[in-house]
Structure 1
Amino acid sequence: MLDLIIVGGGPIGIACAIEAEKHQLSYVILEKGTIANSLYNYPLYMRFFSTAERLEIDKIPFITTAPKPGRQDALEYYQGITRQRQLNIRLYEEVLMIQKNGNEFSVTTSKTGYIAKQVIIATGFYDIPNLMNVEGENLPKVHHYYTEPYPYAQQKVVVVGSSNSSVDAALEIYRKGGDVTMIIRGSEIGNRVKYWVKPDIENRIAEGSIKAYFNSEITEITTSDVLFKTKSEIHQIENDFVLALTGYLPDFQFLKNAGIILEGEAEVPLHNPETMETNVKGLYLAGVVCGGRNTHLWFIENSRIHAKKIIEHITNP
């Protein structure tokens, strides 16, 4: 029997494994993709809001020449830690179910099963798109993830939202020759957009290089058009692709199946913020999954501390 199973091999899962090793706990990280799988699926040219030192794990230097590290820098860093520390991680092994049996947990994966005294869920929230729930959302032209601008050159592209991902996509596609229209539910570009990018998108909108409709939402998508409404009228525009970058959600059903109570409209998993233990004794949460639908609350920078809290509670209950 293992002391600990860590579900998720991202930065916070890695941090939990390092803390477990410090306290000589037997553990395994179970990751359904590659190391730092969510980061791997980020846009190719994405840059973090934070500087490198705020993304560091266990004071291991994150060395980069760029003022703001990018996706590839982060993958090199977190995968490098895993190699250098020889962390016990099983890749491409998805956790299907967590069951509490007395004082131990049975964890079933896509490959085998494990028994452990405690479990940490550090799965993030990048796997399930926050759907618009409109007709035509399942068409092949609709994408909920964005990788790079080149497929959208000389195409009429609707970008939904005004988050960092939406703004980055709109600017990159515009600069590769795409005809970009932004459909934005709010009245302005989001306040959380990176401060060095916000003036760029606002200026492109002001000059008309990128069209933007505020206080708007899509009502229907067809093979050739997009219909959306503003406060006063319905619009219909020609369209080749829709990038519905409306955010992502934790796997709530997975959490509920493990016995975790979800609270309120935001479906925040019930947990003690001092220990990160859920209502299921011995089952902990770490990282962005703690926020439920409030996915803006937790980042690598402010959730690294979860690892220490959890391991301290396990070793000093």
Structure 2
Amino acid sequence: MSDSSNIDEYYDVIIVGAGPAGIGVSILLQKLEINHIILEKASIGDSFRKWPKETRFISPSFTGNFFKMPDLNAITPGTSPAFTLLTEHPTGEDYVEYLENLAKYYDLPIKTEVCVDAVRKKGDSFVLTTTHGVYKSTYAIWAAGEYQYPNKQAFEGAHLCTHYSEIDSFSDLDGDEHIVIGAYESGFDAMVNLIRARKIVTLLDDSDYLNLVKSDSSYSLAPFTRDRVEYVTDLFDYYTETKVTRVEFVNATYIVKTANGHTFTSPQKPINCTGFASSLTLVQESFGFKNNYPLLNEFDESTKTKNLFLVGPQVKHGNALFCFIYKYRQRFAIVAEKIAKRMKVPPKTIEKALQEYKNNNFYLDNLSCCDDECVC
């Protein structure tokens, strides 16, 4: 791992982003002996470094690798954050340690502090203009995370709020009373941690997530979240079907207005927990979109731009949303295999690199299994 120089460089594959998606697919490319580079605008796992101090993974880590049930937060079949970090629900800083260990162990080719300014297709090559020169490749994998792109357009006056991603620690927030806008995972996490910091909380939910239960955790609150909410049920004001339309700041008071006519006020900035926008802004013209999700073929390749692949939480096929690590890690091998075959890597080399992934549920090539609800 090293900083880049101001020179033009060519690689077979360029990966943008050194989070779990970028590092996960890089490990496979390394096993396939494919010449590649990861470009990271900050440092390894930078999004996780920016999590609030109190925030933890909602997906549990547990070492079940010996029984072919890998840790849900692992990005390779043979590793386990639970074993490495000795905790079930890692913090952001914990997970950075895990990612750094993997990058070091596999000696991944990562260049940090390289900000990608533009990506364009020129003939059969991708040309990436960065703060440290121009990089070129035949294949590009977009692996940038969403956390660095907070949604600040969800309602009028959102700029007057403190976005969840801007909080270092909930205990450091001024004032005793707080309004939390948005009640999915980050909203409930903010509420729980504010109460633990002895704050009074009003939670505004544009739906009714506490009573929405589905077997797919992409669309329903995680059990870890529900367990924590249960202990504070009587300690916060909860308004369902309350969509915020506008926030104003008048006479040193924040005024929150909703679509159903409610008005809430607070001397403290409301906390915006309406989520995150897409990380695909820089390459938006290279993808087609449907319902705000990029259109991909069966190999997670852009249907609009050949040899441009997507890995990470924005991958979606039909109703199957791969927004958790244990989901999108199952697509690393699909992408790596397709690139390897196009590069005419020997079949035996491909099979050897992928066998462990296939044996440990890290290779999901049949998406029909993702539409079933649990029986009970």
Is TM > 0.5 for Structure 1 vs Structure 2? yes
Match of residue 308 from structure 1: 333
SS in 2 for 1:34: coil
1:187-202 aligned at under 5 Å gives the runs 187-189=208-210, 191=213, 192-201=220-229
In 2, the alpha carbon distance for the partners of 1:236 and 1:67 equals: 37
Match of residue 245 from structure 1: 273
Q: 1:225 aligns with which of 254, 259, 267?
A: 254
CA shift, 1:42, in A, is 1.9
TM-score (norm 2): 0.75
In 1, the alpha carbon distance for the partners of 2:268 and 2:181 equals: 14
Match of residue 213 from structure 1: 239
In 1, the alpha carbon distance for the partners of 2:126 and 2:26 equals: 18
Match of residue 282 from structure 1: 307
**Which one-letter code corresponds to 1:227 in the other structure?**
V
8 A contact 1:261–1:270 mirrored in 2: yes
Query: Structure 1 residues 304, 77: closer, same or farther in 2, change over 3 A?
Result: same
Match of residue 54 from structure 1: 72
SS in 1 for 2:270: strand
In 2, the alpha carbon distance for the partners of 1:165 and 1:105 equals: 36
Which runs of no fewer than 5 residues in structure 2 stay unpaired?
A: 1-9, 62-70, 214-219, 343-376
TM-score (norm 1): 0.88
Calculate the aligned-residue CA RMSD, in Å.
Answer: 2.3
CA shift, 1:35, in A, is 0.5
8 A contact 2:154–2:274 mirrored in 1: no
1:79-94 aligned at under 5 Å gives the runs 79-94=100-115
CA-to-aligned-CA distance 1:186-226 (integer Å, 9 cap, x gap):
13436432324325425634x2x211222112322314122
Which runs of no fewer than 5 residues in structure 1 stay unpaired?
A: none
**Which one-letter code corresponds to 1:309 in the other structure?**
I
CA shift, 1:46, in A, is 2.0
Identity %: 23
**Which one-letter code corresponds to 1:210 in the other structure?**
F
Query: Structure 1 residues 295, 114: closer, same or farther in 2, change over 3 A?
Result: farther
**Which one-letter code corresponds to 1:43 in the other structure?**
P
8 A contact 2:179–2:266 mirrored in 1: no
Matched, 1:26 2:32: no
Match of residue 256 from structure 1: 284
8 A contact 1:183–1:217 mirrored in 2: yes
**Which one-letter code corresponds to 1:83 in the other structure?**
K
Matched, 1:112 2:133: yes
1:61-210 aligned at under 5 Å gives the runs 61-62=80-81, 63=83, 64-139=85-160, 141-145=161-165, 146-152=167-173, 154-189=175-210, 191=213, 192-201=220-229, 204-205=232-233, 207=234, 209-210=235-236
Query: Structure 1 residues 199, 138: closer, same or farther in 2, change over 3 A?
Result: same
In 2, the alpha carbon distance for the partners of 1:225 and 1:32 equals: 35
**Which one-letter code corresponds to 1:244 in the other structure?**
N
Query: Structure 1 residues 244, 85: closer, same or farther in 2, change over 3 A?
Result: same
- List structure 1 runs of 4+ shifted beyond 4 angstroms: none
CA shift, 1:99, in A, is 1.4
Match of residue 269 from structure 1: 294
SS in 2 for 1:249: coil
